[in-house]
């Protein structure tokens, strides 16, 4: 992925603490035709969950395959979340989307989002989605009913560190009301793509 030859699409990064609503916003934006977006599917070495499909939800790789791809510099960004539990963005995924003449949208963790911004500063709009408050974040996580109280508390604790990185992003969308957050995100991306 040679930056000098990058006359392709733009990269739109969405990062946020868990429960901020970034996935809901990203799903909405994918349906907005004038933005010409396609979702970047991440690679992971974790096991499939439930009805997840390879090539749709994630590219599922063995830990060994993942490590080989790291050695071969095949990732735009990657992270080892737990021992031998990797997540990352394959360069071929971005190239695949650009080859279709589309802009790439990422729903990605804070550190991965900032790595992409550092590698492609001019082509990337890094958007941080902020909950109105940490208390509201905890309420949203509880409403999901998908995790234990301990797991929710872990996510809330992690969110404080993630919230501290918000000023490093190009723009912040506060998701106090979803409708307002969707409009604001659409406008910011539209302005960036057309600039």
Report how far residue 112's alpha carbon sits from residue 128's, in angstroms, rounded to the nearest whole number.
12
Total domain count, the chain: 2
Both 122 and 32 in one domain: the answer is yes
- Around Cβ 88, how many Cβ atoms within 10 Å? 25
| Residue that is last in its domain, among 101, 129, 148 | 101
pTM of the shown model: 0.87
Q: What angle, 0 to 180 degrees and rounded to 10, lies between the N-to-C axes of helices 149-164 and 134-144?
A: 140
Per-residue pLDDT of the chain (195 residues; tens, 9 = 90+): 544 444 579 999 999 988 888 999 999 999 999 999 999 999 999 999 899 999 999 999 999 999 999 999 999 999 998 888 999 999 999 999 999 999 999 999 899 999 999 999 999 999 999 988 878 878 878 887 777 888 888 878 888 889 999 999 999 999 999 999 999 999 999 999 998
Which pLDDT score is estimated for 1?
A: 55
Q: What token pair was written down for 155? A: 């996510």
Both 21 and 53 in one domain: the answer is no
Report how far residue 70's alpha carbon sits from residue 87's, in angstroms, rounded to the nearest whole number.
11
How confident is the model over 61-76, as pLDDT tens digits?
A: 999 999 999 999 999 9
């Amino acid at each position: 992925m040679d930056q000098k030859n990058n006359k392709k699409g733009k990269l739109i990064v969405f990062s946020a603490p868990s429960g901020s609503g970034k996935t809901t916003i990203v799903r909405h934006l994918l349906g907005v035709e004038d933005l010409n977006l396609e979702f970047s599917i991440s690679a992971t070495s974790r096991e499939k969950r439930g009805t997840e499909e390879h090539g749709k939800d994630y590219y599922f790789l063995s830990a060994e395959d993942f490590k080989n791809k790291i050695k071969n510099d095949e990732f735009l960004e990657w992270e080892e979340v737990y021992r031998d539990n990797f997540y990352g963005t394959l360069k071929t995924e971005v190239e695949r989307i650009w080859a279709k003449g589309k802009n790439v949208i990422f729903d990605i963790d804070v550190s991965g989002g900032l790595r992409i911004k550092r590698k492609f500063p001019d082509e990337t709009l890094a958007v941080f989605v902020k909950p109105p408050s940490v208390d509201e974040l905890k309420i949203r996580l509880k409403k999901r009913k998908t995790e234990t109280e301990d797991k929710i508390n872990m996510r809330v604790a992690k969110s404080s560190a993630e919230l501290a990185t918000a000023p490093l992003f190009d723009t912040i969308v506060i998701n106090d009301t979803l409708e307002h957050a969707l409009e604001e995100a659409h406008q910011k991306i539209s302005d960036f793509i057309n600039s």
